[in-house]
Structure 1
Amino acid sequence: MSDDPRQLLRAMFDAAVGAAHPSVCLPQHLAKIEPPKGRTIVIGAGKAAASMAAAVEEHWKGGPLEGLVVTRYEHGAPTSQIEVIEASHPVPDAAGREAAKRILEKVQGLTEDDLVLALISGGGSALMALPAEGVTLEEKQAVNKALLKSGANISEMNCVRKHLSAIKGGRLARAAAPARVVALMISDVPNDDLSVIASGPTVPDPTSREDALAVIAKYRIDAPEAVLKHLSSPDCETPKPGDAIFNRVENILIATPQGSLDAAAAVAHKAGYTPCILGDLEGESRDVALVHAGVAKQIANHGQPFQPPVAIISGGETTVTVRGNGKGGRDAEFLLGLTLALEGFGDISAIACDTDGIDGVETNAGAMMLPDSFARAQAKGVDLKALFANNDAFTAFEALGDLVVTGPTRTNVNDFRAILVPKRANGCHAGAAPATASEGLGGQLLRILGLQK
């Protein structure tokens, strides 16, 4: 492995993406599914849906296939038996609505001898957008756009989406009954909550319409009257845990954010870095950046919780409360916040990218921060603080030439962040002692951040 931090960071990101690619993670699970006596209907939604469909076609040994999946524009993959439709993400469009309508039609009228193979991945909630009766696509788009700008987390957004949908929140499973349903799922959510991935079309919904109304009130969303009327009606409620319609439904995780973090950690370890995995994190991107900066400084200055060289690795999905009118997704926003928090501190380098290859709605997966990024910005006259205030992280890293551009990866396990803290020439701060393994990382972080003695 090269000593160049840029190459190591990119290799870690590539390993994280590769571990979650359907061609790698899907075949072993597909082989365990018993073929049906009747038809096999393949449906799916998400940023990985097309590549999952292609993997199914290559590895399925159970007879003829038919079906339809919907994925994001430019995330398609060649298939011969399963139709692939592309639609808009993160704001739904008419193509997604028509795809969802056709998917719902394909699973209706089946028998107990039939199998519905559902390929579900992150992004499916917006891509498979079939508004509930009485709600128009335009009204659902308005709510979705407002939620995206509000700072609501993915669980909150999907709670609202489920209750405005005719297909999500377990409704797809209800439509497919009495057929057997097996869902192969790639997780892009904290704690791998099956009911949140793509708004859980095959999963019981533990949230309620009252929860959805509470989210709208919490973030002061100016929802259309038809939306509020729909959420106020008991008829909009989703199927709940314990409902008999889920007796013949099996939901299987085939790739998770943790698996990708582990893959990246293995690359870092091979390069001589001690991996420090913080796990799946939520919160404002700029706040999460401050936490990471604090951890990096503590490692560099005091060798706590680990002696450098250390690779700090995290995933999850942060949020951005949009206050400016700049360009940039949550990963670039995180990295610009980290750059400002460190201001060239030590020889620290970092990467922050979305594993689907698209950070927000821009053309980049994310960006990199190198030890000289802050100095180069000053030399170029790039006002990082002003750009940060305007939510314009894309412009900042574009000016520095530090955007990471991969194109669509055709998978999605959410954000990937890695920070390299190299060994200092003069070692750690005198008298510092590394944290003990028995203390536990949670306690270590609390102490690092000054919240615990």
Structure 2
Amino acid sequence: MRNDALKIFTAGVRAVQPQYLLPRHMRWQHQQLQLGEQVFKQPDLNKVLVIGAGKASAAMARETERILGNRIDAGIIVTKYEHTFPLKTIQCIEAAHPVPDDNSVQAGREIMRLLKNANERDVVIALISGGASALLVDCPPGILLSELQAVFNQLLQCGATIEEMNTVRKHLSAGIKGGQLLRTAWPATVVSFILSDVIGDPLDIIASGPTVADRSTFADAWEIVRQYQLTDKLPVSIIRWLHLGLNKEVAETPKPDDPIFTKSFNYLIGTNRIALEAAAAMARELHYTPVIVTDSLKGEARDKARELVTQVQQYDGPRPACLLLGGETTVTINNPGKGGRNQEFALAAMIALQQAYPDGGQMPVLLSAGTDGTDGPTNAAGAIVDKGVLQLTAQRRLSPEKYLTQNDSWNFFDQTGGHVITGPTHTNVMDIIVVLIP
């Protein structure tokens, strides 16, 4: 069953690869460029520029080069270290994630420089995926990169949701996030192709919405900082900038009625739902009855894991069954262990499964992993719980409860052979959880 769970997960990840998604939305034929529903005829077209940011942006850029060939005039993308591909025309910058580094700032500078020279007959193709909030940044006046890094770290550790984190990040950007990139690109037409790593696929939240009107305000950002009691933990320059925004001394992010959005077209091409449906198809092929429970799982990882085990116990449908869930849980870090939300989810689920199935018989197999191949600051995509993991836990006399208390799921699964390790997958549509019920 372990192999079946891995095959089902892999099928989901494969379905949201840029090489399968982009050709449905982009083509060059009969002397015209088609991008989504937008068609640009050769005589009306000056330059085609490509920009991009995110864990999938290099794979998206490679596919864009394959489709458009020498029709691309110039391009710059930024992706996570070790997520790149050889590209012909488009320059690729590698930067840090989930906390930005100097290369993230350089990428912001280079992309803005490219867009500043665009005119009204130019078309900008924006390739956007999760991870871009850290990979593509700019430092507002008076704020150092080290101070922005401090904010990113605090947001990651306090248990804030991705919506909350990106609301704050948008208001700590003076030229990129929250639709501001379009101010630089104006009057060029910008067509964005987006992979969603956010529950509900809100375009203004994914990658901090560089090409989308921003619904949030400085007041919203400040409320999040206050709610998580970060006002005394953040650098003075950050607090000062947010206050300038609150007092309307710094321009708000552009809102839906801003004319810059009349030449911006956004296409959502990859989602968690697409991945789950492909996973369900593979489960069916392997003779399981698939049930897609949700593509909107959120909340504290360990709480949601316990709730899922209760659902599994109550399942009374056809067997063998495959329950599928997608979404993104959060972890409030209270201790200095090593792990990520998927490993923590799997560890909490294992404890609950051991209680629910004390003799180990008929115990389901559970896998929880990130479609991007990364779970927290670790080399694993996630973890799997099966009889083999239980046997090694018993043999080595490990206490899963102790590792969970320490937020140390990586070290637990490292000793029990439970890691799911894929390497970079070059896509990013949140997490997939697979539960196989015999």
Which interval holds the TM-score relative to the shorter structure?
over 0.9
Q: Does 1:250 pair with 2:265? A: yes
The alpha-carbon deviation at position 272 of structure 1 amounts to 1.9
Gaps of 5+ in 1: 423-453
| C-alpha contact 1:164 1:236 (8 A) present in aligned 2 | no
Query: Comparing 341-350 with 145-154, which one deviates more in the overlay?
Result: 341-350
Deviation at 1:236, TM superposition (A): 4.6
Check 1:236–1:331 CA distance in 2 against 1; reply closer, same or farther (3 A cut).
farther
Q: Deviations over 1:295-346 (max 9, x none)?
A: 11111xxx1xx33322111111111100111111110000001001111723
Matching residue's letter, 2:172: L
Matched, 1:289 2:297: no
Instruction: State which of 8, 17, 27 in structure 1 corresponds to 2:23.
Output: 27
Shift in Å, 1:130:
0.9
Matched, 1:203 2:212: yes
Residues 358-405 of structure 1: CA deviation (Å, up to 9, x unaligned): 111101111111145334312211111100000000111111111111
In structure 2, the residue corresponding to 1:141 is in which secondary structure? helix
Residue in structure 2 matched with residue 88 of structure 1 by the alignment:
96
Aligned counterpart in structure 2 of residue 108 of structure 1, from 116, 120, 127: 116
Tell me the equivalent position of 1:441: none
2:370 is aligned with 1:354: yes
Contact 1:339–1:373 (CA under 8 A) maintained in structure 2? no
Match of 2:25, SS state, is helix
Q: Distance in 2 between matches of 1:100 and 1:107?
A: 11
Q: Deviations over 1:219-240 (max 9, x none)?
A: 1121111111111222152101
Secondary structure (helix, strand or coil) at the match of 2:105 reads helix
CA contact (8 A) 2:77 2:91 kept: yes
Letter in 2 for 1:117: I
1:418 maps to 2:426? no
Q: 1:161 to 1:236 in 2, by over 3 A?
A: farther
Summarize the alignment of residues 299-378 of structure 1 with structure 2, pairs less than 5 Å apart: 299=315, 303=316, 306-343=317-354, 345=357, 346-378=362-394
Structure 1: which 4+ aligned runs deviate by more than 4 Å?
none
After superposition, the C-alpha distances for 1:93-124 in whole angstroms (9 at most, x for unaligned) are 00111111111111113211000110000000
Counterpart in the other structure of 1:192 = 201
2: CA distance between counterparts of 1:184 and 1:370?
38
Query: Cα RMSD (Å) of the superposition?
Result: 1.3
2:282 is matched with which residue?
267
Q: State the partner residue of 1:144.
A: 152
**Secondary structure of 1:26's match?**
helix
The aligned counterpart of 2:141 is 133
Secondary structure of 1:192's counterpart equals coil
- Paired position in structure 1 for 2:192: 183
Aligned to 1:56: 64
| Partner of residue 225 from structure 1, selected from 218, 227, 236 | 236
How many residues get paired? 413
Secondary structure of the 1:205 match is coil
SS of equivalent to 2:234: coil
C-alpha separation between the residues in 1 aligned to 2:12 and 2:115?
34
The residue identity in structure 2 corresponding to 1:56 is T
Q: Secondary structure at the match of 2:384?
A: strand
The 2-side partners of 1:392 and 1:102 are apart by 39
TM-score with structure 2 setting the length: 0.92
Decide which of 8, 12, 16 is 1:12's aligned counterpart.
8
**What is the rounded CA distance, in whole Å, between the counterparts of 1:109 and 1:405 in structure 2?**
43
1: CA distance between counterparts of 2:422 and 2:72? Answer: 34
- Please say if 1:212 is aligned against 2:227: no
TM-score (norm 1): 0.89
Identity %: 41
Distance 2:353 2:312 in 1: 9
